[in-house]
Structure 1
């Protein structure tokens, strides 16, 4: 299977650099720069959040399936929408949370790593194997999918993609 993982288009600049998990925010169409993806797809999937579905529509994809399992990790309510500087200034913050990715995840996320990986594994397990597939999702979701597939983890900018061959 050839799996193209596309990060959604940019949100309004006021949300750049913020922890935006399940909050359903639209893309900023004024920041949208069309891209051409390198192949045709047998199936197209998207997170059910607006920033992903709007991205696909802007790119001309009308026939895609949404799946809530492709959402970004769910952040704790007190951190949702905040940037790192704001979190660092909170009374509950402790620099020791930065000692490992797992500690940081446990601190800011309302969804455990196991739950996050589990829903993404469930999605991947259901994909048709001999197909070219496009998935539009979120930065953290894509990084976790790459980890699950033992592929090099890439931090994608808005509207960047990576292609993985799954055997």
Structure 2
């Protein structure tokens, strides 16, 4: 079974803005970035899942037409009260308190990284249980979580996994388990 994790293309947002659950549109580079992703994917039939946020569902529609399912658990981390605020406007002590234990401490009215990880992996396990070749169009945090899970990387080290906009990670599932075949393709 092949699984392709596809990160949405560049969002239309000012650099330095905190976002996760916000339903952002995509930058004008969407078509060029989406075409590049399309050229990477093998020409086979996939079962397709996507985050319901438009930056993912638009890419899923571009790549696979209307044949995909959305799953709320594939959304990016919920930054709560920090959503759509410039990082520079978040009080430094508040941000430092969160960073000191981002794994377990949720953002104000948001969620922790562990909560994102747990919901992402729960969705991923259900998705791969079908045994079908699968494409998942989602966000950086979800992809990092799945890649950490697949490679037995400790959750606290998963933020070091680089996941770029409009890029693909390829996993292969066989009788021995999950194998990471490539990242940022």
TM-score, scaled relative to structure 1: 0.80
Q: Which residue of 2 aligns with 1:164?
A: 171
Question: Aligned to 1:56, which of 56, 60, 63?
Answer: 60
1:80-131 deviation per Cα after TM superposition (whole angstroms, max 9, x unaligned): 11343333xx26436465456537x545672134432232222122123432
Structure scoring higher RCO (CA < 8 A, sep ≥ 6) equals 1
Given that 1:19 and 1:81 are in contact with CA atoms closer than 8 Å, whether structure 2 keeps it comes out as yes
1:33-79 deviation per Cα after TM superposition (whole angstroms, max 9, x unaligned): 122233224301100111100112233532111111100111121x1
Q: Which runs of 5+ in 1 are unaligned?
A: none
Q: Which residue of 2 aligns with 1:143?
A: 144
- 1:66-145 → structure 2 map (5 Å cutoff): 66-77=70-81, 79-87=82-90, 90=91, 92-93=93-94, 95=96, 97-99=98-100, 101-102=102-103, 106-107=106-107, 110-127=110-127, 128-145=129-146
- Alpha-carbon distance in 2 for matches of 1:115, 1:98: 15
TM-score, scaled relative to structure 2: 0.73
Q: Which residue of 1 aligns with 2:8?
A: 8
- Alpha-carbon distance in 2 for matches of 1:54, 1:38: 17
Name the structure where helix makes up a greater proportion of residues: 2
What's the secondary structure of 2:60's corresponding residue?
helix
What's the secondary structure of 2:94's corresponding residue?
coil
Distance 1:47 1:85, change over 3 A: same
- How many correspondences in the alignment? 161
- Alpha-carbon distance in 1 for matches of 2:12, 2:41: 27
- Alpha-carbon distance in 2 for matches of 1:94, 1:68: 26
- Alpha-carbon distance in 2 for matches of 1:13, 1:114: 26
